[in-house]
Amino acid sequence: MPNTRMAVWQGDITTLDVDVIVNAANEQLLPGGGVCGAIHDSAGPELEDACLAFGGCPTGEARLTPGFNLPAKHVIHAVGPVWRGGDQGEPDLLEGCYRASLLLAEAEGVESIAFPCISTGVYGYPPELAAQVAVRTVRAWQANNALPDKVVFCTFSDEDTETLQAALSE
């Protein structure tokens, strides 16, 4: 039986009507390229100000801000690891940023959350391995927690969509 609490959706994460979107953030929580830049652009300059107040965020952790001009009420800024071959703790750090995001969402009473493909862009994490970590971590969370009830893996490319769908079907 398929898990209806998890889904893959291809498109622009900044347009999703969910309670929280997750930003694939850098340790400084500053606007960057890719999904991070798109989220900051759509949310407006208040998002950068809110992020600066944290003074950064270590890899494997996450921080919560308002969504400002986004449809989502909140943004969770999750800092994934840079891929260094897989033997520098990357899987644990990636799992940590997913768990930290889910914990923040649960604490806010969030019903729905959307994750981008964390660490697979300029951070170089192999998409297949990252998808396995993401799905495994969310499955384990949902087995023991009611919230967030709905998790969306938001992809931008056909290839990422196929990769996440394959991980979900395993």
**What are the chain's domains?**
6-169 (3.40.220.10)
Using CA atoms, how far apart are residues 55 and 52, in angstroms rounded to an integer?
5
Runs of H (alpha helix) within the chain: 34-43, 45-52, 90-107, 127-144, 158-169
Its pTM surpasses 0.85: yes
The parts of the chain modelled with pLDDT lower than 50 are 1
CA atoms within 13 A on the CB side of 84: 9
pLDDT at position 131 is 98
pLDDT at position 4 is 79
Kind of pairing between the strands at 62-66 and 20-25: unpaired
Closest CA to 88 of 118, 64, 138, 123: 123
